[in-house]
Amino acid sequence: MTDPLGTGPEGWPTATELADHIATGKASSREIVESCLARIDAINPALNAFCHVAPDEARQAADAADALVRQGGTLPPFLGVPIAIKDLHPVRGWPLCSASDGVSHDVMKHDAPAVAALREAGFVFVGATTSPEFGTVSVTESARHGATRNPWNLEHSPGGSSGGSAAAVAAGLLPVGHASDGAGSIREPASYCGLVGMKPSRGLVPSDAHYMEGFATEGVLTRTVLDTAAILDVLAAAPRPTWYAPPRPDVPFRQRAERDPNRLRIGINLQPAFPAQVHPAAAALARRAADLLADLGHEVVEQDVPGLDPDWFTPRFDILYATGSADCAVVDESAVEPLNRTLRQAARDTDSLTYVTAILEFQLRSAEMYQAWDAVDVLLTPTNPVLAPRVGSLWEGQDADPWAPLRRAEETASLTVLANMLGLPAISVPLVEQPGGLPLGVQLIGGRWQDGTVLALAGQLERAHPWRHRRPTALPL
């Protein structure tokens, strides 16, 4: 029997392809899951992408999926397809570590809402992927789990905080990984690992709360726009228990991704939200992407974002971001990493009026920034202004300045965080190949609730300039 996860001329099979294989009997879920587990056993020691693997549970779920196929009838859209869940989000029956030695690691009694939606869609959970402690920084390194490595170059990081999922998908361990994004943590590792990663519109994906005042949301890392769109259909259809939710789409996202959009006005932008210098390679990448979009018939113009000022943005973001881990159930503060101890203390030292004022100022400034999308349909940027950092480099100098790692993380996120602040849909795609080097993505940011437009444009680019056949060369895959 051939390996059901084996690569072909077009690359590794996608989640939608595997779902079809299972539903039609071309392959069984058990075969696919066994292949996935074997690849994890063989490759994960070099990558350190998984911090928890659940082989027995995965096999039982795969057998149950195959039994459901034999029964016939309507099947969940991703029945039997393996997926991994990022270890910052509760999974029923699994301990939640959040990459920290300071928390209690309790076994979760329920799934997080987005995780529950993925389970309801038929996915088989094979394990939990690594993140930095509390998801704070733009690399996937922690005292508890060590460093996760980029399968394109093991000396470099896959980015963060969803770097474990990104490394696993990029190395072909599985077709899709769950991820989350509070300042770029889906799109940044997608960029550095040659994947597709989308931050959906604020409130579109179910969550227990609007974390970080709505900056944060969940999604997936995949190898194709079609997979991302089809899984977003699943997530967007699930119950959304929060106070606010955007309108549901009139047309499924998968259909939008399969159809070329009408002629769009694309604005190219290189403005960072944090103090950062855009690397010449990143700037050149955006210019090349603009040329490709123009070749497809779109109008491309230069477009600034009014009111975007790093000196204004950074101090207000720091007030909000410091609270991100303040509610974590820490049982040993001394075991928390230095940066997160610093952030937690900063949160405790911030009075309520200062916090509320920062949020109000974000909201008021947002009204000015949204005007950019009155002039264009989509904003085009490099995903990352800097190249993938070397493993360990983010932490240099933290003994003298505990804020130093966050400043480097902010630099990495300086082109992605705007979409989090404004609640806009944004996707990173590996449009242009980087010969002999690490991948670097380009980002498309749509207007309010224009997830379908972003996916349609990304899908058009993918058809015109395919990328799924590319695979990392740092490992024998």
Tens digits of residue pLDDT in 419-474: 999 999 999 999 988 767 899 999 999 999 999 999 999 999 999 999 999 999 88
The Cα–Cα gap between 1 and 437 comes to: 35
Please report, as a single letter, which amino acid is at residue 93.
G
86 is catalytic: yes
The Cα–Cα gap between 303 and 169 comes to: 34
Please pick, among 185, 191, 207, 414, the residue that the annotation labels catalytic: 185
More confident residue, 6 or 198: 198
Helix (H, G, I), strand (E, B) or coil at 19: helix
Contact call for residues 158 and 191 (beta carbons, < 8 A): no
Q: Which pLDDT score, from 0 to 100, does residue 300 have? A: 98
Dig out the tokens for 158 from the structure. Answer: 């896959």
Dig out the tokens for 229 from the structure. Answer: 């769109």
109 is catalytic: no
Residue in 170, 434, 327 with CA at minimum distance from that of residue 162: 170
The Cα–Cα gap between 332 and 347 comes to: 17
- Write out the E strands in 136-253: 141-142, 146-147, 177-181, 196-199, 217-222
Pick the CATH number of 15-464 from 2.60.290.11, 3.40.109.10, 3.80.10.10, 3.90.1300.10: 3.90.1300.10
Q: Which pLDDT score, from 0 to 100, does residue 477 have? A: 77
Dig out the tokens for 222 from the structure. Answer: 């995949």
In sequence order, the 6+-apart residues with CB closer than 8 A to the CB of 474 are 150, 151, 152, 153, 154
Residue in 452, 414, 444 with CA at minimum distance from that of residue 428: 444
Residue in 406, 387, 388 with CA at minimum distance from that of residue 397: 406
- Based on the number of CB atoms within 10 Å of its own CB, is 333 exposed (0-12), middle (13-18) or buried (19 or more)? exposed
Please pick, among 28, 29, 35, 86, the residue that the annotation labels catalytic: 86
pLDDT digits (tens, 9 = 90+) for 340-377: 999 999 999 999 999 999 999 999 999 999 999 999 99
pTM beyond 0.85, yes or no: yes
Residue in 413, 412, 394, 417 with CA at minimum distance from that of residue 404: 394
| Average pLDDT for 20-44 | 97
104 is catalytic: no
Which residues partner with 234 through β-bridges?
Answer: none
The Cα–Cα gap between 301 and 267 comes to: 5
Please pick, among 28, 161, 207, 414, the residue that the annotation labels catalytic: 161
Percentage of the chain exceeding pLDDT 70 = 100
* 220 — pLDDT class (breaks 50, 70, 90): very high
